[in-house]
Chain A
Amino acid sequence: MSPSSLHLAVALEGTGWHPASWREQVARPRDLFTAGYWADLVAEAERGLLDFVTFEDGLGPQSSHYGELDGRTDQVRGRLDAVLTASRIAPLTRHIGLVPTVIATHTEPFHISKAIATLDYVSAGRAGLRVQISARPHEADHFGRRTFPRLNLEELRTPSGQERLTDLFDEAADYVEVVRRLWDSWEDDAEIRDAATGRFVDRDKLHHIDFESRHFSVRGPSITPRPPQGRPPVTALAHQTVPYRLVARQGDIGYVTPHDADQVRAIVAEIRAEQEAAGRADELLHVFGDLVVLLDDDQAAAEDRRARLDALAGEPYTSDARIFAGTSAQLADLIQEFSEAGLSGFRLRPAVAGHDLLAITRGLVPELQRRGAFRTAYEADTLRGLLGLPRPANRYAAATA
């Protein structure tokens, strides 16, 4: 069977993406720091045959403002490292992809490269990563290696804000380049166990990567052999040209936030142009739409629930992504409309994990299956396999061949 042409992922974030989600009866706010909580969510996503789940992360407390802490005590605060959480869940699942967030701005690509490679080993080929930058001054203060001026989202749109952003995304692009070169730094058959010569590895199949840039100087090779997928898929959320370029240059999946089909077409066109400029026109690059979802049996119930959550939160919930409140059938319509406009998949953000994740797996998925638009069984064992991405050749092997 060929991989499903429509791809579905779920973005796991605390008790859900709505800040008041933790107050719902179905929510388990006291379990957020236990493995069991995450295991249950991922098991549900796997029951729904989803391609993968992403795990949000951050190197500081959550905040309702981008640039600074808000001092609020009425929302979920605190989270576990996403790579560790994904890894903790991996042995409990068989098919679903596991895509943790990694912060390129403050971490070392050498550490992350081996961590994601290892996630790929412990999940037998189901690891990916979502690369994210952090421009938050208070997170920089947690590392003390660089200082960022205070900022807010509006400032990021000014020329000087754009310059800062470009800088951070250039760094992230280098970061991903280092990570991927380190994955390739072992050829697949480097371990030879040649008893005759006493050699465990063929050192000609281990490569220094010698990456030098303004931000990094990394020699390699990795300490971890090339992961089962060769290169686990790299994903990134992108809202504008600078991050679109990162996706186009380095990504296997970009998450974008169109609000209507015209925006879908415009964004996809821009990413494809950047992809072509990056010389990757012939490579499969997925563009997924992010949608916040509130799903109920009828639209009024979904809208009521949204109003009730907003009232509990004390303000209407806004998002970078379109917020969809309605039925599974209506969401299936929207998904099909956006697919026709050029998206190959969707990353759904359940407003209330304990409610909307189940609505996705038990309502939306069967609806899409009825329409012949979504898989009825997992057709591959690896994340690349599910996404129709070929296992890449090793760049260093190609150089010596």
Chain B
Amino acid sequence: MTSKPLKQIHLAAHFPGVNNTTVWSDPKAGSHIEFSSFVHFAQTAERAKFDFLFLAEGLRLREQGGNIYDLDVVGRPDTFTVLAALAAVTERLGLTGTINSTFNEPYEVARQFAGLDHLSGGRSAWNVVTSWDAFTGENFRRGGFLPQEERYSRAKEFLATANELFDSWHGDEIVADRTTGVFLRDAKAGSFVHTGQHFDIHGQFNVPRSPQGRPVIFQAGDSEDGREFAASSADAVFSQYASLKEGQAFYTDVKNRLARYGRSHRDLLILPAATFVLGDTDAEAEELAREVRRQQVSGATAIKHLEFVWNRDLSAYDPEGPLPGIDPDAGGDHISKGRAQVRMYRDPLATAREWRELAAANNWSIRDLVIHTGNRQTFVGSPETVARTINDFVQADVSDGFILVPHITPGGLDPFADKVVPLLQEQGVFRTEYEGTTLRDHLGLAHPDDVRGERAAS
């Protein structure tokens, strides 16, 4: 360990949104829609020299029991549009957008990412997600047309097709010579033909090659297919495992898959989502974290969370009382719609049994149980403790860095930027200035043309 040079940490900021980690009831909580919130958040991330800002996506408002879910933050702006606007108020910060490969078409999405890359001077990244469900599909022309098992085959072909479009321009086609009247060196610039299982398209792409050549590609799925997709095709994984053991297991698993695709450990970054609560002392932070958890899990929220697993209306239960004695409805249509299906809901009977035992053993109410089993704050402590833990985790290959999700919009990142980042910088594990201008530069990723041997050394 001592002889190994210290890994440099990558840090990103996830604009908090639609989930119960976002505390909207706090007096400091602002709008998650108004552009000023995004400006504040992005400029804080850039002031702290973060690698990028991250936006999640959801294409249908979640419902539970046939009603729109009303306890959490609802609503978000359009990803591309808000990222393009943020490019105007930042200079170096990467701009990562989650865009679904099921409810979009490659020509349009490739145009948008190439355009965002041009308009931001090489800072665009695409988190390719594959949510497939018919519920979301009801908002689109073709409806929920994709069987679940085909989502990654479409995602893979979608990304491959987009890459063909990105690569259809080499970067030297625009001559714009006033005297000779030659604008374009090659009338066929942008030509492509793609014939496959999901797409049969041809023609000419109308966006010239962008500063990064291709946007940086993120993947955020966890299944076997998802991990293979990441290993074969992504530059970074947005994962959910930020604890020591789970993180290391995921890290090892995904990085070990790279060799199969002729890629090295450095070609794919693992960046888990992580929350944090800071205090002047560790004890103060622990106390604060407990308060935050209670804000995040109201009694009503606790009941709703139990309903995800029980798949029944539990509104008659007292959140401060014991867990329901009845078993989950494992058969019927799920009453919770529009949520990524998490493993814990896939075997509801086992989960319910486990939770009941846990609650009985600890004398927990429904709300206590949800507070204890839900997503805990990843990093809790004084700035020193949090900086040390983050560094320890990265050096121990839990990850290559973290995507921080504050629980307050938009000011929640400020204390981290002001107090933790300087400590990481002092330890020499986080940049004090941006060295490059593109997101690829920040992440230490090669330019695709260098990989292809097409860019002359300059």
Contact = CB atoms under 8 A, between A and B. Distances in A.
Interface in B242-300: 298-300
Contact of A108 (B121, B140, B187): B140
A30 B207 CA distance: 13
A115 to B, nearest CB: 4
A81 B61 contact: no
Contacts of B80: 81, 83-84, 87, 115
A331 to B, nearest CB: 27
A201 B32 CA distance: 13
5 contacts: A73-B185, A114-B81, A144-B199, A219-B139, A223-B58
B105 interface: yes
Given A33-B207, A78-B206, A83-B81, 19 more contacts: A39-B88, A59-B107, A59-B206, A71-B187, A73-B185, A73-B186, A88-B87, A88-B119, A108-B141, A110-B139, A114-B78, A118-B78, A118-B81, A193-B24, A201-B70, A206-B74, A216-B141, A223-B58, A223-B60
Given A58-B206, A141-B203, A218-B139, A88 B84 contact: yes
A141 B202 contact: yes
Interface in B55-82: 58-61, 67-68, 70-78, 80-82
B39 interface: yes
A8 interface: no
Given A83-B80, A200-B73, A90 B88 contact: yes
Q: Which of B35, B72, B210 has the largest number of chain A CB atoms within 10 A? A: B35
Nearest to B181: A74
Nearest to A193: B24
Given A30-B174, A73-B187, A108-B103, A80 B299 contact: no
Interface string A271-300: 000000000000000000000000000000
B85 A90 contact: yes
Interface stretch (B108-116, B387-395, B435-443, B446-454): B108-116
B410 interface: no
Interface string A192-219: 0101011111110010000000011111
Shortest Cβ-Cβ A-B pairs, 4 listed: A118-B81, A122-B85, A29-B176, A87-B84
B81 A115 contact: yes
A198 B77 contact: no
Given A74-B182, A201-B70, A84 B116 contact: yes
B234 interface: no
User: Is the contact region of chain B dominated by helix, strand, or loop, or is it mixed?
Assistant: loop
B88 A107 contact: no
A268 B289 CA distance: 65
A3 interface: no
A84 B75 contact: no
B367 to A, nearest CB: 12
A191 B74 CA distance: 8
B190 interface: yes
A141 to B, nearest CB: 5
B375 interface: no
A61 interface: yes
A51 to B, nearest CB: 21
Interface string A119-142: 101101000000000000011011
A22 B298 CA distance: 61
A158 interface: no
A341 interface: no
A223 B74 CA distance: 8
Contacts of B107: 59, 142-143
A30 B176 contact: yes
A209 to B, nearest CB: 9
B71 A88 contact: no
Contacts, number: 220
B304 to A, nearest CB: 10
B118 interface: yes
Contacts of A71: 187
A345 B400 CA distance: 57
A89 interface: yes
Contacts of B85: 87-88, 90-91, 118, 122
A388 interface: no
A92 interface: yes
B74 A201 contact: yes
B204 A69 contact: yes
B174 to A, nearest CB: 7
B330 to A, nearest CB: 27
A197 B71 CA distance: 9
A61 B190 contact: yes
B204 A225 contact: no
A121 B77 contact: yes
B174 A215 contact: no
Contacts of B115: 80-81, 84-85
B357 interface: no
A142 B168 CA distance: 13
B206 A22 contact: no
Contact of A219 (B72, B104, B138, B207): B138
A246 B416 CA distance: 52
Contacts of A108: 103-104, 140-141
A186 interface: yes
B243 to A, nearest CB: 29
Contacts of B183: 22, 29, 73-77
Contacts of A220: 139
Contacts of A73: 182-187
A122 B79 CA distance: 12
A91 B39 CA distance: 10
B432 interface: no
Contacts of B121: 35
B223 to A, nearest CB: 25
Nearest to B85: A122
Contacts of A114: 77-78, 81
Nearest to A121: B35
B89 interface: yes
A34 interface: yes
A90 B80 CA distance: 14
A193 B199 CA distance: 44
B143 interface: yes
A111 interface: yes
B189 interface: yes
A74 B175 CA distance: 10
Given A72-B187, A198-B71, A23 B141 contact: no
Contact of A223 (B61, B116, B206): B61
A117 interface: yes
B141 A198 contact: no
A81 B58 CA distance: 22
B359 interface: no
Interface string B167-180: 00000001010100
A83 B138 CA distance: 24
Contacts of A366: none
B207 A141 contact: no
Contact of B118 (A33, A87, A110): A33
Contacts of A385: none
A69 B84 CA distance: 30
B200 interface: yes
Interface string B418-430: 0000000000000
B16 interface: no
Contact of A142 (B24, B88, B201): B201
